[in-house]
Structure 1
Amino acid sequence: MIKIYHNPRCQKSREGLKILEESGKTFTIVKYLNQPLSKEEIEELLDLLDISAEELIRTKEKVWKENYKGKELSKEELIEAIQEHPKLIERPIVVKDDKAIIGRPPEKIKEIL
């Protein structure tokens, strides 16, 4: 099963979706802005990606700069920030079985297919 965490307003995410469509493989689209991820889902993504919570965050987003930049935050606090502001999630993320990858650049998605 392949799943893409997708933000339709993001160019890189749209490019990643196109790569999946062109692969001919069956996949599910998770529009995480419409349905924010639970704490458990975020922790699972972090485990699959094998990264820290900080590495999942888009630190150039306005909401990050205004509310969190320069603060010492625990993993729990970072996850709460992601839940409260899902646009902070790096994108796109593609999950296949027990592996995941952040599609930046989108061509990286081909590595997991």
Structure 2
Amino acid sequence: MRFIIEILLTGLAFFIGASFLVPGVHIDSYGSAIIASVLIALANATIGFILRLLTFPINFLTLGLVSFIITVLMVLLVDNMMTSFNTSGFISAAFLAIIVALLKAIFNAIAGEKE
């Protein structure tokens, strides 16, 4: 159940971030935001994981900056896969990644961690 709630909140974060906070990003609907967030999570779990393993020494030296760049590249990959999710380039995708991470942190702080 927690997994489904996490997906819905991530979709909400994408929809809010894209619709209101980040210029240059457009998502057609909340359903498209959920699909985009799931695809980005899958891309990060597969391709992103492999890229993070290959770039670990550089990632270590840059204190995680390369990991953030990989996440932005996964957002751009999903942008190319979907017609209902559009970004205007790397900078808007980077701002979207930052806003979504901040919104997810706020949602998790409000919901609280249950163990």
Assess same fold via TM > 0.5.
Answer: no
Q: More strand by proportion, 1 or 2? A: 1
Q: More helix by proportion, 1 or 2? A: 2
For normalisation by structure 2, the TM-score amounts to: 0.28
For normalisation by structure 1, the TM-score amounts to: 0.29
